[in-house]
Amino acid sequence: MKEFIMVFRNAVNGDFKPTAEQTQAVEKQWGDWFRTIAAQGKFVACNRPAPEGKTISGGNVITDGPYAEVKEILMGVATIKADTFDEAIEISKGCPILQVGGNVEVRPLLVMNL
């Protein structure tokens, strides 16, 4: 099996403030989806970045970020196993972020032999 990374992004909506019940419902959808992938033996890992960060550019220039002005925010990344790229894409079609206007980028992971 090969490993693939799924990158989850969503549009910025600063006006939307979910209720506790809405947050719990969304977390349940994500949990159910990941448990389904895990039950198939295809789940590797999932992480979500903290809201604060820094960007380091050439010349060691450090800037604050991410910025609220961006149109999309990185919601998280997950690594899964699949036999083919098409299978990884099919797995990504069940992602809850697609129900709220977000998107999933799927890429094969390349093995780095160091």
Domain regions of the chain by residue span: 2-108
Q: pLDDT confidence of 91, banded at 50, 70, 90?
A: very high
Question: Where on the phi/psi map is residue 87: left (φ > 0), alpha (ψ -120 to 50), or beta?
Answer: alpha
pLDDT higher than 60, residue 32: yes
Q: What is the pLDDT of residue 97?
A: 92
Name the token pair of 90.
């099919």
The yes/no answer on whether domain 2-108 falls in CATH 3.30.70.20 is no
Predicted confidence at residue 111, as pLDDT, reads: 84
Q: Per the structure block, which two tokens stand in for 71?
A: 């149109």
pTM of the model: 0.83
